Amino acid sequence: MDEALQALVEEFAEAQEEPTSRLLPLAATEGAGQDALVQLFEQVIYAVDVFSIIPVRFHLADTEDGGVAGDMEVIPASRAEIVGPVPKGVSYHDLSLIHDDGTWRCHVLIDV
Amino acid sequence: MSEDGLPVPTVVEGFANIGDDAWRVGPTDGMRVPAVLFASPALLEKVEDDAARQLMNVASLPGIVAAAFAMPDVHSGYGFPIGCVAATDVAAGGVISPGGVGFDISCGVRLIETPLTRDDLVPRLDTLMDALDVTVPRGLGRGAVWHLDGRRTLESVLREGAVAAVRAGFGDDEDLRRCEDSGVLSCAEIAEVSERAFERGLGQVGSLGSGNHFLEVQVVEQVFDERTAAAFGLFSSQVCVMIHCGSRGLGHQICSDHVRTMIGAMARYGISVPDRQLACAPVDSPDGRAYFGAMAAAANYGRANRQALTEAVRRSFRRAVGTDRLTLCYDVSHNLAKLEHHEVDGVRRLLCVHRKGATLALPPGHPDLPEELRGHGQPVLIPGSMGSASYVLAGVDPGRAFSSACHGAGRAMSRHAAARAVRGDTLRRELEDAHIAVRASSDRGLAEEAPLAYKDVDDVVATCERAGLARRIARLRPLGVLKG
């Protein structure tokens, strides 16, 4: 999940080397599969839009009730280089999260 | 290719020509009505299998009537293809689907007219583009033209759309006369708008966004119908400004919220769909009504957004060129569902007409048109790809697909493929070599919007005309492009 969220950010912003000063929470209640992925992506998109931040690192872990939770280190958007269109929504179309031969692979369509 | 090396037929090869650049398949395999595609032979070859299958899936929606229509600029989307018109019979349990409207509710186009000619502007073009660069917020964290003072003002925007913006000093009543629906849908229900949507909407009224949204300074290059062009306020060599944007984060949030609700609710209505993004509920149901009311609120937001941006354009022209006598040709939406009466099989019915990447094109004589346009048909604004032409069309009588037309050139290539094929900095230079001034926030964003990523807008628009969807009035080309 962390890597999927990182990939989302890398599509539109470069900020990995920046020191972070803030943490924002993340949580998915819809299990740990593709719907959880959608929930997490939507939370990131919401935070980017409302707080004008760019996530730099994600820290997620499974919860006892079968969900996923954690937080993300963020910086103000003004300190990042915007390199692509900003994500606005997550589509269920062709959504997949597959565990195949020891590797996780996901396919998510993001509206910009 | 198949395993034995033979070419596999494309999905559109199963469509039969029914004349006038129209192609049809079905109903078969669960489709309730045929799928009808408007395309020239050249455009037909570019219709992806995914887009054709999505169109056929749309034809299976409960209550759909006549056909699932694809416009000449159709391409694959999420659930519904983009460039699709689908109408459902409300009284017969017909459904409404957020996916049939799109994430960016009431994404649309506005064309602003100036008294200037190209020769008047060219010496001041860079100054104007610099002024627009500063006054038109776009991209992440750049603010908005209208700084709302709180939730109550946002509520008024959601209820009253462009009317609220005019009342707050962004433009005047004359602008509203040239807006689809006079700039406001009266059926908005703000109780159906989530807190997250409110939060996302608070800081973005009067902002362009990014992606395929843009502001272009254009010149009228060719007029096809002088009389109608004059009625629309257009003349040869005239400088115009085209704005393409929508309801921003608020609209996206509303779509996401209600798709999720409908995914959970469909089973209660006995509905199943082949793609979750097609999630839907009967129009006349609590979930259907909830989405419709929220969608109308987002549509009002989109109209207010473009109204506030118009004022930024006026300020820029005043500063750079010394005039703010800018008037509105028209403002259209191309992602919306509307309740309309149409005759189907000889019976007048109330339909929920979804237009996703398709534009309403009211015919001449329609009572919803302002008096000076009624003899000509509704202006239909078609943005081309960046650097290529845009068009003004007019609705025709009788029209087809419930009085609908295309909305743009239509993507021919994914964003990733375009970014691999084109360097943004190279494209920027090419545009500037073609005397098109560019102000863009990112080179990648520019590359993804390269002309080669889109279909031929001239072919799309000519097909609209041949197919009887709309007729050409004027062709415009860009002088300057502003992108997020």
Q: Select from A13, A86, A91 the Cβ nearest to the Cβ of B277.
A: A91
Q: How would you label B106-135 residue by residue, b for 16+ Cβ within 10 Å and e otherwise?
A: bbbbbbbbbebebeebeeebeebbebbbeb
pLDDT, tens only, A22-76:
889 999 987 668 889 999 999 999 999 999 999 999 999 988 888 899 999 999 9
> Whose CA is closest to B155, among B297, B256, B16?
B297
- Residues within 8 A of A (CB atoms), B 31-90 only: 77-79
DSSP code, position B234: -
* Tens digits of pLDDT across chain B (484 residues): 666 776 777 888 889 999 989 999 999 989 999 999 999 999 999 999 999 999 999 999 999 999 999 999 999 999 999 999 999 999 999 999 999 999 999 999 999 999 999 999 999 999 999 999 999 999 887 899 999 999 999 999 999 999 999 999 999 999 999 999 999 999 999 999 999 999 999 999 999 998 889 999 999 999 999 999 999 999 999 999 999 999 999 999 999 999 999 999 999 999 999 889 999 999 999 999 999 999 999 999 999 999 999 999 999 999 999 998 999 999 999 999 999 999 999 999 999 999 999 999 999 999 999 999 999 999 999 999 877 899 999 999 999 999 999 999 888 888 888 888 888 888 888 898 899 999 988 788 788 888 888 889 999 999 999 999 999 999 999 999 998 8
Phi/psi of residue B423, nearest 5 degrees: -90, 130
Q: How would you label B156-174 residue by residue, b for 16+ Cβ within 10 Å and e otherwise?
A: bbbbbbbbbbbebebbeee
| Partners of residue A87 in chain B, C-beta under 8 Å | none
Between CA B166 and CA B426 the distance in angstroms is: 41
Q: Select from A77, A83, A89 the Cβ nearest to the Cβ of B252.
A: A89
Residue B29 burial (CB count, 10 A): 9
Contact predicate B77/B97, CB 8 Å: no
| Interface contact A84-B139, CB threshold 8 A | no
- Nearest residue of B to residue A51 by CA position? B141
Interface of A with B (CB under 8 A): 12-13, 42, 45-46, 48-50, 52, 76-78, 82-86, 88-93, 95, 109, 111-112
Q: Tokens representing B444?
A: 């990648």
| Partners of residue A91 in chain B, C-beta under 8 Å | 78-79, 103, 277
Residue B149 half-sphere exposure, CB side, CA atoms within 13 Å? Answer: 1
| Partners of residue B445 in chain A, C-beta under 8 Å | 84-85
Contact predicate B178/B370, CB 8 Å: yes
> Whose CA is closest to B22, among B33, B38, B11?
B38
Q: Select from A49, A83, A92 the Cβ nearest to the Cβ of B277.
A: A92
Q: Select from B256, B276, B448 the Cβ nearest to the Cβ of A85.
A: B448
| Partners of residue A112 in chain B, C-beta under 8 Å | 210-211, 415
| Partners of residue A52 in chain B, C-beta under 8 Å | 140-141
Residues of B annotated as catalytic (active site), given as ranges: 407
Contact predicate B107/B333, CB 8 Å: yes
Contact predicate A77/A52, CB 8 Å: yes
Peptide bond into B27 cis (omega under 30): yes
- Nearest residue of A to residue B203 by CA position? A50
Between CA B186 and CA B165 the distance in angstroms is: 15
Residue B112 half-sphere exposure, CB side, CA atoms within 13 Å? Answer: 24
Q: Select from B199, B276, B445 the Cβ nearest to the Cβ of A85.
A: B445
Between CA B328 and CA B332 the distance in angstroms is: 11
Residue B147, min C-alpha distance to chain A (Å):
14
| Interface contact B78-A46, CB threshold 8 A | no
Does B194 reach chain A within 8 Å, measured CB to CB?
A: no
Residue A59's pLDDT is: 94
User: Is the backbone of residue B392 left (phi > 0), alpha (psi -120 to 50) or beta?
Assistant: beta
Does B385 reach chain A within 8 Å, measured CB to CB?
A: no
Does the interface ipTM go beyond 0.85?
Answer: yes
**Which pTM does this prediction carry?**
0.96
Does B104 reach chain A within 8 Å, measured CB to CB?
A: yes
β-strands B390-395, B379-382: how paired?
A: antiparallel
Residue B297's pLDDT is: 98
